[in-house]
Amino acid sequence: MLKRRIAITVGLSILLQLVFDKAVLAADCDAPQSVGYRVLALEDGRKIAVWYPTDEAEQPIAYSRLSFAFQGSAAQNANPLDACPLMPIVLFSHSHGGCALQSIFITEELARRGYVVAAPDHADAGCPIGSGDFDFNSMPTDESFFAPDEWTDRSEIDRMNDLREVLQIIATDPELQRIADFSHVGAVGHSLGGYAVIGMAGGWPSWRTPEIMAVVALSPYVVPFIVHGTLGDIGVPVMYQGAQFDWITPTLVGEFGAYASTPSPKYFVKLNGGTHFEWTNLLCLGEPNVAACLDHRENARAIDRYMVAFLDRYLKGKSASDLDSEALEVDRFRQDP
């Protein structure tokens, strides 16, 4: 009888421990994760920077020799974390003349928050992965920024093709494919990258990419869509972000601005201060690493805070209290859910 009681007690203890371990695991999946980092390649050889959750220890990393001593923290070529539910994918499109590594306080932090983040070097990349020099020879655009009426759905279409190819590459990667949720894909873009992701959200109907469920447009070049009256064709939630001294932000606001022309649900965040480069590593200039930048730069915190809340709501189905009240870091926050 005593042996039987001991066996029952041990069995219950094991069962309770398994339940407890499962609960802890679930809680850990909602907590900030360690970040893994690896580099993949497009078919033509241009590189793709990929950040993703891992259970391996992070190490300081200088992603590029052009980083001006600004470092991130990641486990290079680490195994992806596969103990949690599938994680949404976020595609990142850089600015004109920027590069995949231009905004690591955004891309790295999104991975830390449970996303698989993939950023290709587009053809106009001025600081491509693996380069030790700025390259400004490949920066011409298909049309002039000063002639938005001449832009069509053929303008900068290579960016759309790059981002679609990135999805295919992740889908065939033997490690990333097992952790990535291809039914929940978001896209984030800065400047001309913002143009690309708005186009893929339906700004150019022929670009509409069904996999994309939410878009964050950071000071996006949207005048071609305004001129052609196509923003009403957007079919997914959009968050616009602008800044006080950014020359593009005036095109986002007002009766005829992009925000007013975009269907709901939509959000607008305007940062205190800040220029067009507020969403790049230049915001962190003088800080040693991403953690220090997020500690010391209010706008860096605000950019990530609102972006993560938005993506959590529309890609993970989570509550997002930051989207229901204005944060002190921003000059203005609007929502029209």
| Cα–Cα distance for residue pair 216/303, rounded to 1 Å | 10
Among 179, 164, 138, which residue's Cα sits nearest to residue 38? 179
40 φ, ψ (degrees, to nearest 5)? -110, -175
> Checking phi first, is residue 82 left (phi over 0); if not, alpha (psi -120 to 50) or beta?
alpha
Pairing mode, strands 87-93 and 180-190: parallel
Handedness of CA 225, 228, 232, 235 (dihedral sign): negative
Handedness of CA 255, 299, 213, 321 (dihedral sign): negative
Query: What pLDDT score was predicted for residue 177?
Result: 96
Q: Which fold has domain 34-336?
A: Rossmann fold (3.40.50)
Query: What pLDDT score was predicted for residue 130?
Result: 83
Q: Which residue has the tokens 């079919």?
A: 235
pTM of the model: 0.90
| Cα–Cα distance for residue pair 74/77, rounded to 1 Å | 9
Query: What pLDDT score was predicted for residue 17?
Result: 40
| Cα–Cα distance for residue pair 127/96, rounded to 1 Å | 11
| Cα–Cα distance for residue pair 197/212, rounded to 1 Å | 9
Query: What pLDDT score was predicted for residue 133?
Result: 67
How many residues are recorded in the chain? 337
Question: What are the residue boundaries of the structural domains of the chain, listed by start?
Answer: 34-336
Among 19, 308, 67, which residue's Cα sits nearest to residue 186? 308
Per the CB < 8 A criterion, the answer to whether 92 and 189 are in contact is yes
Name the strand (E) or helix (H) holding 197.
helix 192-198
Tally the C-alpha atoms within 13 A of residue 266's C-alpha that lie toward its C-beta.
19
Query: What pLDDT score was predicted for residue 328?
Result: 57
- Give the model confidence (pLDDT) of 157-168 as tens digits: 999 999 999 999
Ranges under pLDDT 50 in the chain: 1-27
